[in-house]
Amino acid sequence: MAETSAGGKRASSEDMLEFEIEVITREETEEDLDRMTRKLLSELRQTDIESANLVSVGAAPEGSKGDPITIGTLAMTAMPAVLPGVIDMIKAWAGRKEGRTVKFKGKGIEFEGSAEDLQKLLATLAEGKKKK
């Protein structure tokens, strides 16, 4: 899907960055992790990202209800320009409860660290895309 960016240029799917976001917590149950992941998903969907979804592990076994998901993992697609605000939102979300961290995985990268370090990495990736 193409849309107009702030500079008036048309954005294409090639401009999008795709990430998996893994929620890591010291919570004891899978239910707690699933609840927190779904809460983060809900908040992400209220931002200007292109899409955010739970990560599926494939087809459900015959006779089961619903799609199997990887608990604690989300897939996100966004334009580089909106990522700083999204990163700030995720940082605030993680800081609301002791013991929460978030790991980002993207094309050829895996990152776990501070939001500031991630913003620097994203800026580098976006600059690399512009040079292609």
Q: Each residue of 2-13: pLDDT tens digit?
A: 444 444 444 566
How many domains does the chain divide into?
1
Angle at 102 between CA 121 and CA 46, to 5 degrees: 90
pTM above 0.75, yes or no: no
Band (115; pLDDT cuts 50, 70, 90): low
Question: Is residue 4, in this structure, part of any structural domain at all?
Answer: no
In a domain, 2, yes or no: no
Domain that holds residue 77: 13-58+67-126
Query: What angle, rounded to 10 degrees, do the helices at 83-95 and 115-131 form?
Result: 160
Domain membership flag for residue 6: no
- The Cα diameter of the chain in Å comes to 50
| Closest C-alpha among 129, 122, 85 to residue 106 | 122
Report the sign of the C-alpha dihedral through residues 119, 82, 109, 10, in that order. Answer: negative
Check residue 27 and give its pLDDT: 67
Q: Is 7 part of a structural domain of the chain?
A: no
Identify whether 46 is part of a domain: yes
Predicted confidence band of residue 61 (pLDDT cuts 50, 70, 90): low
Q: What is the CATH number of the domain that holds 120?
A: 3.30.70.930
82: its two tokens: 């909106």
18 contacts: CB under 8 Å, gap ≥ 6: 75, 76, 77, 106, 107
Task: Indicate whether 112 belongs to any domain.
Answer: yes
